[in-house]
Amino acid sequence: MIDTYRGYVNPWECDEMGHMNIQFYMGKTSDAAFHQQAFLGLGYEHQQTERTTYVALEHHIRFHKELFASDLVAVRSGTLSLNNKTMRIYQEVRNALTDALSATLVVDVGHFDLNARKLVPWTDFMRSQAEKIMVERPDAAQPRSQPDGSLDRDVSLDRAEEKGMHETNRSAVNRWECDANDHMNSRFYLARFSECQGHMWAAAGLDRHSQKAKGLATATVEMRLAYFKELKAGQTLFVRTGLEAQSSKTLRYRHWMFDAETGEAAAASEGTALLISRETRRAVDLPTEIRDRLG
Protein backbone atom coordinates (compact mmCIF):
# COMPACT_ATOMS: atom_id res chain seq x y z
CA MET A 1 0.00 0.00 0.00
CA ILE A 2 0.99 3.63 -0.38
CA ASP A 3 0.66 6.64 1.94
CA THR A 4 -2.22 8.80 0.69
CA TYR A 5 -3.20 11.10 3.56
CA ARG A 6 -1.76 12.57 6.73
CA GLY A 7 -3.68 15.05 8.83
CA TYR A 8 -5.40 15.96 12.06
CA VAL A 9 -8.84 15.87 13.70
CA ASN A 10 -9.99 19.45 14.14
CA PRO A 11 -12.43 20.26 16.96
CA TRP A 12 -14.98 21.46 14.41
CA GLU A 13 -14.93 18.00 12.77
CA CYS A 14 -16.36 16.44 15.95
CA ASP A 15 -20.08 16.20 16.61
CA GLU A 16 -22.23 16.17 19.76
CA MET A 17 -21.12 12.59 20.40
CA GLY A 18 -17.61 13.93 21.06
CA HIS A 19 -15.98 12.03 18.21
CA MET A 20 -15.08 12.84 14.61
CA ASN A 21 -18.26 12.83 12.54
CA ILE A 22 -18.54 10.19 9.82
CA GLN A 23 -18.55 12.76 7.02
CA PHE A 24 -14.94 13.64 7.83
CA TYR A 25 -13.78 10.05 7.44
CA MET A 26 -15.13 10.40 3.93
CA GLY A 27 -13.53 13.82 3.52
CA LYS A 28 -10.08 12.59 4.51
CA THR A 29 -10.30 9.43 2.41
CA SER A 30 -11.55 11.53 -0.52
CA ASP A 31 -8.32 13.53 -0.25
CA ALA A 32 -6.47 10.21 -0.06
CA ALA A 33 -8.19 9.07 -3.25
CA PHE A 34 -6.71 12.01 -5.18
CA HIS A 35 -3.22 10.85 -4.18
CA GLN A 36 -4.05 7.31 -5.27
CA GLN A 37 -5.36 8.67 -8.57
CA ALA A 38 -2.07 10.49 -9.12
CA PHE A 39 -0.16 7.24 -8.47
CA LEU A 40 -2.30 5.52 -11.11
CA GLY A 41 -1.53 8.24 -13.66
CA LEU A 42 -4.77 10.16 -13.12
CA GLY A 43 -3.22 13.26 -11.54
CA TYR A 44 -4.00 16.91 -12.12
CA GLU A 45 -2.15 17.29 -15.45
CA HIS A 46 -3.76 14.13 -16.82
CA GLN A 47 -7.22 15.34 -15.80
CA GLN A 48 -6.63 18.68 -17.51
CA THR A 49 -5.34 17.21 -20.78
CA GLU A 50 -6.81 13.71 -21.11
CA ARG A 51 -9.98 14.54 -19.15
CA THR A 52 -10.36 11.28 -17.24
CA THR A 53 -10.36 10.52 -13.53
CA TYR A 54 -11.92 7.93 -11.27
CA VAL A 55 -15.16 8.24 -9.35
CA ALA A 56 -16.63 6.27 -6.45
CA LEU A 57 -19.48 3.90 -7.31
CA GLU A 58 -20.00 2.22 -3.93
CA HIS A 59 -18.43 2.45 -0.49
CA HIS A 60 -18.33 -0.20 2.22
CA ILE A 61 -17.15 1.31 5.51
CA ARG A 62 -16.46 -0.21 8.90
CA PHE A 63 -15.75 2.03 11.87
CA HIS A 64 -13.44 0.32 14.37
CA LYS A 65 -12.23 2.92 16.88
CA GLU A 66 -13.31 6.48 17.50
CA LEU A 67 -11.13 9.46 16.65
CA PHE A 68 -11.28 12.59 18.80
CA ALA A 69 -10.19 16.22 18.50
CA SER A 70 -6.39 16.59 18.21
CA ASP A 71 -5.87 12.96 17.14
CA LEU A 72 -3.44 12.52 14.27
CA VAL A 73 -4.74 10.67 11.20
CA ALA A 74 -3.03 8.68 8.45
CA VAL A 75 -4.48 6.81 5.46
CA ARG A 76 -2.84 4.12 3.35
CA SER A 77 -4.36 2.79 0.15
CA GLY A 78 -4.10 -0.19 -2.16
CA THR A 79 -5.91 -2.12 -4.89
CA LEU A 80 -8.06 -5.18 -4.22
CA SER A 81 -9.23 -6.13 -7.72
CA LEU A 82 -9.21 -4.80 -11.26
CA ASN A 83 -11.74 -5.02 -14.11
CA ASN A 84 -12.04 -3.42 -17.55
CA LYS A 85 -13.54 -0.11 -16.43
CA THR A 86 -13.69 -0.46 -12.64
CA MET A 87 -11.46 -1.44 -9.77
CA ARG A 88 -11.94 -2.10 -6.07
CA ILE A 89 -9.63 -0.11 -3.82
CA TYR A 90 -8.85 -0.39 -0.11
CA GLN A 91 -8.32 2.53 2.28
CA GLU A 92 -7.14 2.11 5.86
CA VAL A 93 -7.60 4.95 8.36
CA ARG A 94 -5.37 4.85 11.44
CA ASN A 95 -4.56 6.98 14.43
CA ALA A 96 -1.10 8.10 13.35
CA LEU A 97 0.15 8.39 16.93
CA THR A 98 -0.98 4.99 18.27
CA ASP A 99 -1.37 3.10 14.94
CA ALA A 100 -4.82 1.96 16.12
CA LEU A 101 -7.13 1.05 13.25
CA SER A 102 -9.96 3.57 13.10
CA ALA A 103 -11.82 2.69 9.87
CA THR A 104 -11.59 0.52 6.78
CA LEU A 105 -13.08 1.45 3.41
CA VAL A 106 -13.56 -0.83 0.42
CA VAL A 107 -14.52 1.30 -2.56
CA ASP A 108 -15.63 0.35 -6.05
CA VAL A 109 -14.40 3.06 -8.43
CA GLY A 110 -14.77 3.58 -12.16
CA HIS A 111 -12.53 5.21 -14.80
CA PHE A 112 -14.61 8.26 -15.70
CA ASP A 113 -14.49 10.39 -18.85
CA LEU A 114 -15.06 13.96 -17.67
CA ASN A 115 -16.35 15.12 -21.05
CA ALA A 116 -18.59 12.19 -21.98
CA ARG A 117 -19.59 11.64 -18.29
CA LYS A 118 -19.34 7.86 -18.65
CA LEU A 119 -17.00 5.01 -17.68
CA VAL A 120 -14.20 4.03 -20.04
CA PRO A 121 -11.52 1.26 -19.96
CA TRP A 122 -8.33 1.70 -17.95
CA THR A 123 -5.13 2.27 -19.90
CA ASP A 124 -2.33 -0.29 -19.75
CA PHE A 125 -0.24 2.09 -17.61
CA MET A 126 -3.07 2.57 -15.10
CA ARG A 127 -3.53 -1.19 -14.87
CA SER A 128 0.18 -1.77 -14.29
CA GLN A 129 0.25 0.88 -11.55
CA ALA A 130 -2.81 -0.60 -9.86
CA GLU A 131 -1.19 -4.03 -9.84
CA LYS A 132 1.87 -2.63 -8.03
CA ILE A 133 -0.23 -1.91 -4.94
CA MET A 134 -2.45 -5.01 -5.04
CA VAL A 135 -3.36 -6.29 -1.55
CA GLU A 136 -5.66 -8.89 -0.01
CA ARG A 137 -8.78 -7.66 1.75
CA PRO A 138 -7.95 -7.94 5.47
CA ASP A 139 -10.30 -9.47 8.02
CA ALA A 140 -10.96 -6.04 9.50
CA ALA A 141 -12.42 -4.89 6.17
CA GLN A 142 -14.66 -7.91 5.63
CA PRO A 143 -18.39 -7.14 5.84
CA ARG A 144 -20.26 -8.19 8.96
CA SER A 145 -23.81 -6.81 9.05
CA GLN A 146 -23.67 -5.31 5.53
CA PRO A 147 -22.67 -8.14 3.12
CA ASP A 148 -21.29 -7.44 -0.34
CA GLY A 149 -24.16 -7.10 -2.79
CA SER A 150 -26.73 -6.55 -0.04
CA LEU A 151 -27.51 -2.88 -0.72
CA ASP A 152 -31.06 -2.39 -2.01
CA ARG A 153 -30.64 -0.63 -5.36
CA ASP A 154 -34.32 -0.64 -6.29
CA VAL A 155 -34.72 2.93 -5.08
CA SER A 156 -37.82 4.93 -6.00
CA LEU A 157 -40.26 7.33 -4.41
CA ASP A 158 -43.04 4.78 -4.81
CA ARG A 159 -41.09 2.21 -2.83
CA ALA A 160 -40.15 4.81 -0.22
CA GLU A 161 -43.87 5.50 0.25
CA GLU A 162 -44.63 1.78 0.49
CA LYS A 163 -41.95 1.36 3.17
CA GLY A 164 -43.16 4.37 5.17
CA MET A 165 -39.83 6.17 4.81
CA HIS A 166 -40.07 9.75 6.07
CA GLU A 167 -38.21 12.86 4.92
CA THR A 168 -35.09 13.63 6.96
CA ASN A 169 -33.23 16.15 4.79
CA ARG A 170 -34.12 18.75 2.17
CA SER A 171 -31.28 20.90 0.89
CA ALA A 172 -29.33 22.18 -2.09
CA VAL A 173 -25.86 21.47 -3.47
CA ASN A 174 -23.49 24.36 -2.77
CA ARG A 175 -20.65 25.17 -5.14
CA TRP A 176 -18.11 24.68 -2.36
CA GLU A 177 -19.36 21.10 -1.90
CA CYS A 178 -18.26 20.18 -5.44
CA ASP A 179 -14.80 18.86 -6.32
CA ALA A 180 -12.54 18.89 -9.37
CA ASN A 181 -14.94 16.46 -11.09
CA ASP A 182 -17.59 19.22 -11.09
CA HIS A 183 -20.05 17.28 -8.93
CA MET A 184 -20.86 17.01 -5.23
CA ASN A 185 -17.98 15.31 -3.43
CA SER A 186 -18.67 12.03 -1.63
CA ARG A 187 -18.08 13.71 1.73
CA PHE A 188 -21.24 15.76 1.30
CA TYR A 189 -23.44 12.77 0.50
CA LEU A 190 -22.35 11.43 3.86
CA ALA A 191 -22.80 14.87 5.43
CA ARG A 192 -26.46 14.80 4.36
CA PHE A 193 -26.93 11.28 5.71
CA SER A 194 -25.25 12.28 8.97
CA GLU A 195 -27.71 15.16 9.35
CA CYS A 196 -30.55 12.71 8.66
CA GLN A 197 -29.58 10.74 11.75
CA GLY A 198 -30.95 13.37 14.14
CA HIS A 199 -34.38 13.24 12.49
CA MET A 200 -34.17 9.44 12.33
CA TRP A 201 -33.53 9.02 16.06
CA ALA A 202 -36.23 11.57 16.89
CA ALA A 203 -38.71 9.54 14.84
CA ALA A 204 -37.62 6.48 16.82
CA GLY A 205 -38.52 8.31 20.05
CA LEU A 206 -35.02 9.22 21.21
CA ASP A 207 -34.02 12.67 19.98
CA ARG A 208 -30.54 14.06 20.56
CA HIS A 209 -31.52 16.07 23.65
CA SER A 210 -33.11 13.00 25.22
CA GLN A 211 -30.00 10.96 24.44
CA LYS A 212 -27.79 13.51 26.17
CA ALA A 213 -30.07 13.63 29.22
CA LYS A 214 -29.81 9.84 29.50
CA GLY A 215 -26.02 9.82 29.07
CA LEU A 216 -26.27 8.17 25.67
CA ALA A 217 -24.71 8.73 22.27
CA THR A 218 -25.08 6.98 18.91
CA ALA A 219 -22.56 5.47 16.54
CA THR A 220 -22.60 3.86 13.11
CA VAL A 221 -20.40 0.77 13.03
CA GLU A 222 -20.81 -0.30 9.41
CA MET A 223 -22.40 1.13 6.29
CA ARG A 224 -22.76 0.94 2.54
CA LEU A 225 -23.20 3.90 0.23
CA ALA A 226 -23.90 3.74 -3.52
CA TYR A 227 -24.08 6.58 -6.04
CA PHE A 228 -26.63 6.51 -8.88
CA LYS A 229 -26.61 10.04 -10.28
CA GLU A 230 -24.28 13.02 -10.24
CA LEU A 231 -25.48 16.07 -8.32
CA LYS A 232 -24.09 19.47 -9.27
CA ALA A 233 -24.00 22.94 -7.73
CA GLY A 234 -27.45 24.50 -7.62
CA GLN A 235 -29.39 21.23 -7.73
CA THR A 236 -31.86 20.46 -4.97
CA LEU A 237 -32.27 17.16 -3.15
CA PHE A 238 -34.16 15.43 -0.38
CA VAL A 239 -33.69 12.23 1.61
CA ARG A 240 -36.18 9.63 2.81
CA THR A 241 -35.21 7.40 5.76
CA GLY A 242 -36.34 4.07 7.17
CA LEU A 243 -35.32 2.45 10.45
CA GLU A 244 -35.78 -0.95 12.08
CA ALA A 245 -34.46 -2.76 15.14
CA GLN A 246 -31.97 -5.48 14.17
CA SER A 247 -31.02 -6.91 17.57
CA SER A 248 -31.13 -5.93 21.24
CA LYS A 249 -28.31 -3.43 20.64
CA THR A 250 -28.36 -2.57 16.93
CA LEU A 251 -30.54 -0.70 14.49
CA ARG A 252 -30.52 -0.97 10.71
CA TYR A 253 -31.27 2.20 8.76
CA ARG A 254 -31.58 3.17 5.12
CA HIS A 255 -31.31 6.61 3.56
CA TRP A 256 -32.47 7.20 -0.01
CA MET A 257 -31.45 10.47 -1.69
CA PHE A 258 -33.46 11.92 -4.56
CA ASP A 259 -33.09 14.77 -7.05
CA ALA A 260 -35.83 17.11 -5.80
CA GLU A 261 -36.73 18.40 -9.27
CA THR A 262 -36.90 15.10 -11.15
CA GLY A 263 -37.55 12.58 -8.38
CA GLU A 264 -34.68 10.44 -9.69
CA ALA A 265 -32.67 8.37 -7.21
CA ALA A 266 -29.26 9.96 -6.60
CA ALA A 267 -27.76 7.74 -3.87
CA ALA A 268 -28.61 5.15 -1.24
CA SER A 269 -27.05 4.21 2.06
CA GLU A 270 -27.68 1.41 4.54
CA GLY A 271 -26.04 1.24 7.92
CA THR A 272 -25.86 -0.50 11.26
CA ALA A 273 -26.07 1.80 14.28
CA LEU A 274 -26.06 1.40 18.04
CA LEU A 275 -26.46 3.35 21.24
CA ILE A 276 -23.37 3.83 23.37
CA SER A 277 -22.77 5.11 26.87
CA ARG A 278 -21.15 8.55 26.78
CA GLU A 279 -19.12 7.54 29.84
CA THR A 280 -17.86 4.06 28.89
CA ARG A 281 -18.14 4.41 25.07
CA ARG A 282 -19.57 0.87 25.03
CA ALA A 283 -22.77 -0.34 23.38
CA VAL A 284 -25.91 -0.50 25.50
CA ASP A 285 -29.27 -2.20 24.95
CA LEU A 286 -31.90 -0.31 23.00
CA PRO A 287 -34.72 0.84 25.30
CA THR A 288 -37.71 -1.50 25.18
CA GLU A 289 -40.03 1.25 23.99
CA ILE A 290 -37.73 1.94 21.01
CA ARG A 291 -37.60 -1.74 20.01
CA ASP A 292 -41.38 -1.99 20.34
CA ARG A 293 -41.92 1.10 18.21
CA LEU A 294 -39.59 -0.08 15.44
CA GLY A 295 -40.54 -3.77 15.49
Q: How confident is the model at residue 248 (pLDDT cuts 50, 70, 90)?
A: confident
The predicted structure's pLDDT at residue 295: 66
Give tens-digit pLDDT for 116-161.
Answer: 999 999 999 999 999 999 999 999 999 999 999 999 999 999 999 9
Which residue from 241, 225, 226, 234 is spatially nearest to 259, judged by alpha carbons?
Answer: 234
Q: For the packed helices 22-40 and 124-132, what is the interaxial angle rounded to 10 degrees?
A: 120
Interval 177-219: pLDDT, tens: 999 889 999 999 999 999 999 999 898 888 889 888 989 888 8
Q: Is 140 exposed, middle or buried (0-12, 13-18, 19+ CB in 10 A)?
A: exposed
pLDDT value for 287: 83
Domains of the chain: 1-142 (3.10.129.10), 147-295 (3.10.129.10)
**Does 289 or 78 have the greater pLDDT score?**
78
pTM (2 decimals)? Answer: 0.94
- Which pLDDT score, from 0 to 100, does residue 205 have? 86
The share of the chain scoring above pLDDT 70, in percent, equals: 100
pLDDT band at residue 244 using 50, 70 and 90 as cut-offs: confident
Cβ atoms of 4 and 33 closer than 8 Å:
yes
pLDDT in tens, 11-31: 999 998 889 999 999 999 999
Q: Over 80: is that where the pLDDT of 294 sits?
A: no
